[in-house]
């Protein structure tokens, strides 16, 4: 099936729907930003060991395994309506941030558990949010919804990271998290008020049985599309952690590493993803071509990293080190390719259980990223940075051509002829 991507006045999401999705994705990114960008440097400043801080990585776990309870959450959406479910989950998120407000930095274990709880709640909310998004807008605006996801989630991560670090001293720990709790409560009220008549919109059949087994039974080419989900973040998984550690080994301070990491997050979500959306909606580039050429350029940038890593002090462009420029370019390309793949996953998640199906794709993405990251550490330790990036480039080339062939053969994509 080929989806018509023509842009008409009645084919776009309403401003109300777009605004609601944006703030929901923002809310979901907030606890992730706190765990990944905000708390590590703050806890280090409080004198905690890097081993203790490393446990914050557990916050990624619910995002990787949320498919285990996705069917249950979606069945509640079908029975009670997305608005009620979203409101209830946002109330739970509000309570989790209220708990954080009363946990001081002297209780690291309780703090990590509370952050984990907040991420469990918001990962669960993502299931209901995605069901609402897909069923509300159909599949024609998948690129638009994916852009809202990237922009909203990125802004949420920035609020939980750099904004937290800026405001924590003038506002205090309790006041900052109290504001977050109040924000979550406000979005709960908004979800209840805005998404009030969604049962008829969202329920293809109130008797439809939602389960993981349904995905395997009714998803065409299920193993191929799961392969795409596992592989499309290969460039990110193989490069990101090693880029950060190479910065440290090249003499960058931890503050500089944090600043560069934040910059690349902004470039991915606020620049790369909107560029991908523009190419799909305005220029009408096909999904398969955007993935192919975007992936090839990703592989080339990673290869250049491998060539420049040993001559970082000499090889500069416009006075800047390529160890800064190349990761920035990689982040923009990652945003473009990821936007395209997430849009395809939305198109492949139509039917009675879109929230569950789309969650399976996102969980596969997280598991693939984790696997690539673990492999990258072993590879870099064995070969060194330069050889690691060069070999990673070859692996990314192979993954890109696999994904291109799957998307081209299945069709059911964006602007595919």
CATH code, 398: 1.20.1250.20
Specify if 120 maps to a domain.
yes
More confident residue, 248 or 412: 248
Find the mean pLDDT for residues 363-389.
85
pLDDT at 124: 96
* Residue 205 near residue 347, CB atoms below 8 Å: no
Specify if 8 maps to a domain.
no
pLDDT band at 4 (very low <50, low <70, confident <90, very high): very low
User: Does 341 share its domain with 254?
Assistant: yes
User: Does 129 share its domain with 192?
Assistant: yes
User: Does 92 share its domain with 198?
Assistant: yes
More confident residue, 337 or 195: 337
Q: What is the pLDDT of residues 253-272, one digit of tens each?
A: 777 887 888 899 999 999 99
* Residue 201 near residue 136, CB atoms below 8 Å: yes
* Mean pLDDT estimate for the chain: 83
Dihedral (Cα; 150, 155, 161, 162), 10-degree rounding: 130
- Extract the tokens encoding 103: 């946990």
Specify if 27 maps to a domain.
yes
**Residue range of the domain that includes 168:** 14-202
The alpha-helical segments, DSSP class H, found in 138-218 are 142-158, 164-171, 173-194, 198-202, 212-218
Closest CA to 398 of 299, 291, 287: 299
User: Does 238 share its domain with 130?
Assistant: no
User: Does 73 share its domain with 181?
Assistant: yes
Specify if 2 maps to a domain.
no
* Residue 275 near residue 335, CB atoms below 8 Å: yes
Q: What is the pLDDT of residues 154-206, one digit of tens each?
A: 999 999 988 898 888 888 889 999 999 999 999 999 888 876 544 444 444 44
Specify if 7 maps to a domain.
no
Q: Is 316 helix (H, G, I), strand (E, B) or coil?
A: strand
User: Does 246 share its domain with 145?
Assistant: no
Residue 321 parent element (H or E): strand 320-321
| Residue listed under structure tokens 């060539």 | 307
* Residue 5 near residue 412, CB atoms below 8 Å: no
User: Does 183 share its domain with 218?
Assistant: no
User: Does 321 share its domain with 384?
Assistant: yes
Specify if 1 maps to a domain.
no
Specify if 152 maps to a domain.
yes
* Residue 207 near residue 128, CB atoms below 8 Å: no
Specify if 4 maps to a domain.
no
Angle (CA) 233-241-265 rounded to 5° is 65
pLDDT at 375 over 70: yes
pLDDT at 356 over 70: yes
Distance (Å, whole) CA 17 – CA 251: 46
Residue 21 parent element (H or E): helix 15-33
End-of-domain residue from the set 167, 202, 237: 202
* Residue 173 near residue 49, CB atoms below 8 Å: no
**Total structural domains in the chain?**
2
User: Does 177 share its domain with 295?
Assistant: no
Gyration radius (Cα) of the chain, Å: 21
Distance (Å, whole) CA 4 – CA 277: 15
User: Does 114 share its domain with 143?
Assistant: yes
């Amino acid at each position: 099936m080929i989806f018509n991507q023509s842009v008409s006045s009645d084919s776009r999401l309403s401003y109300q729907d777009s605004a609601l999705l944006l703030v929901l994705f923002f809310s979901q990114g907030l606890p992730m930003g706190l765990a990944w960008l905000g708390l590590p440097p703050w806890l280090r400043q409080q004198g905690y060991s890097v081993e203790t801080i490393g446990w914050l990585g557990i916050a990624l776990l619910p995002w990787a395994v949320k498919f285990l309870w996705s069917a249950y959450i979606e069945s509640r959406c079908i029975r009670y309506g997305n608005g009620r479910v979203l409101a209830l989950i946002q109330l739970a998120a509000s309570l989790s941030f209220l708990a954080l407000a009363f946990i001081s930095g002297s209780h690291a274990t309780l703090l990590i558990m509370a952050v984990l709880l907040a991420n469990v709640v918001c990962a669960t909310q993502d299931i209901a949010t995605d069901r609402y998004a897909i069923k509300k807008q159909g599949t024609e605006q998948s690129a638009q919804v994916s852009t809202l996801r990237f922009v909203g989630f990125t802004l949420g991560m920035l609020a939980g990271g750099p904004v937290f670090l800026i405001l924590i001293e003038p506002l205090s720990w309790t006041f900052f998290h109290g504001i977050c709790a109040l924000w979550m409560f406000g979005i709960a009220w908004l979800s209840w008020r805005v998404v009030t008549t969604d049962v008829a919109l969202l329920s293809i059949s109130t008797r439809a049985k939602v389960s993981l087994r349904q995905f395997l039974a009714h998803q065409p080419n299920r193993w191929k599309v799961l392969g795409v989900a596992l592989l499309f973040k290969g460039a990110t998984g193989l490069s990101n952690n090693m880029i950060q550690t190479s910065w440290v080994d090249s003499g960058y301070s931890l503050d500089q590493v944090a600043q560069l990491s934040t910059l690349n997050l902004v470039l991915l979500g606020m620049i790369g993803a909107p560029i991908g959306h523009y190419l799909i909606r305005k220029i009408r580039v096909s999904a398969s071509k955007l993935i192919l050429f975007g992936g090839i350029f990703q592989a080339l940038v990673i290869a250049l990293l491998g060539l420049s890593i040993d001559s970082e002090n000499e090889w500069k462009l416009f006075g800047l080190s390529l160890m800064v420029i190349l990761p920035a370019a990689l982040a923009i390309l990652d945003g473009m390719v990821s936007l395209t793949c997430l849009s395809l996953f939305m198109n492949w998640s139509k039917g009675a259980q879109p929230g569950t199906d789309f969650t399976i794709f996102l969980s596969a993405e997280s598991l693939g990223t984790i696997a690539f990251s673990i492999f990258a550490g072993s590879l870099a330790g064995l070969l060194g940075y330069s050889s690691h990036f060069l070999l990673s480039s070859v692996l990314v080339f192979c993954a890109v051509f696999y994904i291109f062939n799957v998307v081209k053969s299945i069709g059911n994509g964006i602007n595919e002829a």
